[in-house]
Amino acid sequence: MAVFIDLMLLGMLAITALRVIFLKDLFAVVMLFGIYSFLSALIFVNLDAVDVAFTEAAVGAGISTVLMLGTLALTGRKEKTNNHKSWLPLLVVVATGAALIYGTLDMPPFGDPNNPAQQHVAPRYIQDSPQEVGLPNMVTSVLASYRGFDTLGETAVVFAAAIGVFSLLGLPKRDRAAIESGLKSHLVLRVVAKLIIPLILLFALYVQFHGDYGPGGGFQAGVIAAAAIILYALVFGLPLATHVLQPSLLKVLAALGVLIYAGTGVVSLFLGGNFLDYNVLASDPIAGQHLGIIIIELGVGITVFAAMLAIFYAFAGQAERKNIP
Amino acid sequence: MSFIIDYYNYWIVVFLMMAGFYIVISANNLVKKVVGLNIFQTSVFMMYISIGKVTNGSAPIVAEGITTYSNPLPHVLILTAIVVGVATTAVGLALIVRIKRAYGTVEENEFKDKDDLI
């Protein structure tokens, strides 16, 4: 049954990608890309990657679709017909694809427990991490503890990308209350949004702190919390949203998250361990691991939340500027 | 049939990768190019997760009565890659917005011509 679902979903994914190639209406392209992300999330669930599915559903179908729509609002939704020679790219793609398909025949068969990828470090993570780190969710153990240094780098990349977007677009100013913004005249949207937004925020907190035991963690929680505020901004308008959460505060928060993460590493250095070695944070190594993981996941959550929301503010601020008469 | 099931995931990955690649090299519109890049990126995610899957395995969260787990390592790598991916996509889109402001167009062939005028 799982195999059948896999075949079907991957087929649908391929069809969606094929349709994106030929569509000229960019609004439809972006919407199809949202569908594509949701399908990917379903496939990830089917392939046992529940944490990844969570992230893909929140990021791919949520944030990236909103950002692309924000860009389309500024650049126009129609793609002009091009007079490129279309056979040359097609030739390149078919040749590369044929070579890659030939290459896949040397890959180990899908799902075999004896594959090389399953033999190297995975058995260590699967057998020892519940005792060494003491968390049921191995993905969180590996993400925050075994590969904590790697995750610190990724958090820093998210922070750096946010800085890049600020320097390219700038953040919106606070006092623009006069501009007509949002969908205030839609009563149904307003009421539903008011009901849903607190629940989304609550869910984000649950995902943040339950990530040790089930699917979730700082990355997902940050994106979900940002999505709640983005929904608020879309329905009630950007000026109100920037009044609730000021852009300057987000700048500080984005830096604070990385600081908390790196600071935990420095504290563990001072306590006599290695950088990001949580064993020394408490008297008992398991308790130390717990404490360390909760703190650094919080740092990740804060940075991701602030970076995603600030990036949205930057794009939305550009669109607002276009509306000023 | 088992031959197809053994390699089907990888073939779809190659197809998606090539679809994304085709969009990137053939499209004129920069927003569409970014969508193509994202499709390319997702195909790589799909490949990593497919490699980590173990038949009859379960999600890598310890539970009673489960002995086979899928490989947690690709999940960790891809989870962070997705969030980093959207952050870098945002930088790309921000560049597109600036290109639109400077040249008045996001069609590649059009702003190439205007480059000489500025």
Q: Same domain for A290 and A176? A: yes
Residue A66 domain boundaries: 1-78
Three-state DSSP at A255 gives helix
Per-residue pLDDT of chain A (325 residues; tens, 9 = 90+): 778 898 999 999 999 999 998 888 999 999 999 999 999 999 999 999 999 999 999 888 889 999 999 999 888 888 877 666 678 889 999 999 999 999 999 888 888 888 888 888 888 888 888 888 888 889 998 898 899 899 999 999 999 999 999 999 988 776 555 555 667 778 888 899 999 999 999 999 999 999 888 888 899 999 999 999 999 998 888 888 888 889 999 999 999 999 999 999 999 999 988 888 888 888 888 889 989 999 999 999 999 999 999 999 999 888 777 666 5
Cβ separation B84–A158 shorter than 8 A:
yes
DSSP string, A178-231: TS--S-TT-HHHHHHHHHHHHHHHHHHHHHHHHTTTSS--HHHHHHHHHHHHHH
Q: Is A157 on the interface with B (CB under 8 A)?
A: yes
| CA–CA separation, A138 and A324 (whole Å) | 51
Domain endpoint, select from A52, A78, A104: A78
Which pLDDT tens digit goes with each residue over B28-62? 889 999 999 999 999 999 999 999 999 888 888 88
Residue A172 tokens read as 């919106």
Q: What count of Cα atoms within 13 Å lies in the side-chain half-sphere of residue A167?
A: 7
CA Rg, chain A, in Å?
23
Number of domains in chain A: 2
Non-local CB neighbours of A41 within 8 Å, separated by 6+ positions: A53, A54, A56, A57, A60, A61
Residue A265, beta-bridge partner list: none
Strands (E) located in B29-114: none
How many whole angstroms separate alpha carbon A74 and alpha carbon A49?
36
With beta carbons under 8 A apart, name residues in chain A contacting B30. Answer: 75
Q: Is residue A314 part of a domain?
A: yes
The structure's pTM equals 0.91
Q: What is the CATH number of the domain that holds A55?
A: 1.20.120.1200
Q: Are the CB atoms for A2 and B5 separated by under 8 Å?
A: no
Residues A147 and A259 in one domain: yes
Pair A215, A203: CB distance under 8 Å: no
Domains along chain B with CATH numbers: 2-117 (1.10.287.3510)
Q: Is B25 on the interface with A (CB under 8 A)?
A: yes
Pairwise CB contact (< 8 Å): A37 & B42: yes
Q: Is A123 on the interface with B (CB under 8 A)?
A: no
User: Number of helices (H) and strands (E), helices first, in chain A?
Assistant: 13, 0
Asked, for residue A273, whether it belongs to a domain, the answer is yes
pLDDT value at position A178? 53
In a mutational test of the B interface, the residue from A65, A126, A300, A313 whose CB has the highest number of chain B CBs within 10 Å is A126
One domain, residues A58 and A182: no
Position A134 in a domain:
no
Per the CB < 8 Å rule, is B60 touching A154? no
Is A248 a member of any domain? Answer: yes
Given B12, B23, B95, which is nearest A168 (Cβ)? B95
- Quick check: A79 and B29 CB within 8 A? yes
Q: Is residue A91 in some structural domain?
A: no
Q: Is there a single domain that holds both residue A152 and residue A6?
A: no
d(CA A254, CA A270): 25
Domain-ending residue, one of A78, A109, A124? A78
| DSSP helix/strand/coil, B97 | helix
* Within a domain: A264: yes
Tokens standing for residue A308: 């995603």
Give yes or no: residues A169 and A316 share one domain: yes
Q: Are residues A70 and A154 in the same domain?
A: no
Of A51, A78, A105, the residue that ends a domain is: A78
Query: What is the 3-state secondary structure of A6-59?
Result: HHHHHHHHHHHHHHHHHCCEHHHHHHHHHHHHHHHHHHHHHCCCHHHHHHHHHH
Same domain as A323, residue A178: yes
B positions 76-115 inside 8 Å of A (CB): 76, 78-91, 93-98, 100, 106-107, 109
- Together in a domain, A167 and A274: yes
Same-domain check for residues A51 and A154: no
What does the alpha-carbon distance between residue B75 and residue A87 come to, in Å, rounded to a whole number?
A: 38
ipTM over 0.85: yes
Chain B nearest-CA distance from A178, in A, is 24
